[in-house]
Amino acid sequence: MAGHDLGLTLRRADDNEAAAIADLVNRAYQVEEFFVEGDRTTVDEIRELQEGGYFLVLDYADGGLAAAVYVQDEGDHGYFGMLSVDPDLQGGGLGRRLIGVAEALAEAAGCRAMDLQVVNLRRELPPWYHSLGYRDCGTAPFPVEADPKQPCHFIRMTKPLGQPA
């Protein structure tokens, strides 16, 4: 991003960073404006998520968040969501880097698989996740309260951990 030193640092987000995380997520998810109105998340939702899991973040060397991902350990399955990269840095491998760390942490916590879900209207995402070793394992309804502009649903995906992609 213009004006930032890209010497990125990976760390677990602090509980007091909900506003910065929400801002990053909302900027990264503007690409979904074709099927949903408004912001992807709120500060309150980020705080609620932090009660059951955590966010990994990549910091710019001079401050600010370059990327983030939500991670939760759910018994023998881990879950990640809200993968968000600063729009100016998308396509540069930061998302792949965060997923790799999230998978390693979930495996270290005893998880045997990692799960995620993507909206079916984001047609570019399933092939990308397939390239990382994820496979489709079902569908789930899209939240009605999100008031989508067109019919949509989630594609659920999973990947065994401890095995090469």
Q: What phi-psi label fits residue 14: left (phi over 0), alpha (psi between -120 and 50 degrees) or beta? A: beta
Report the distance separating Cα 107 and Cα 159, nearest Å. Answer: 11
Quick one: pLDDT at residue 164?
A: 57
Q: What is the pTM of this model?
A: 0.92
Residue 144's pLDDT is: 85
Beta-carbon-side half-sphere exposure of residue 34 (alpha carbons within 13 Å)? 7
Q: Look at domain 9-160 and name its CATH class.
A: alpha beta
pLDDT of residue 145: 85
Instruction: Write the DSSP symbol of residue 45.
Output: H
CA dihedral 95, 99, 105, 107 (to 10 degrees): -170
For the chain, which ranges sit under pLDDT 70?
A: 1-6, 163-165
Residues in the chain: 165
| pLDDT for residue 156 | 98
**Structural domain boundaries of the chain?**
9-160
Whole-angstrom Cα distance, residue 37 to residue 85?
A: 20
Is 142 within 8 Å of 152 (Cβ atoms)? yes
Query: What is the reported pLDDT for 89?
Result: 92
- Please give the pLDDT value at position 1: 44
Contact 79, 71 (CB under 8 A): yes
pLDDT of residue 163: 64
Nearest Cα to Cα of residue 162 among 104, 116, 99? 104
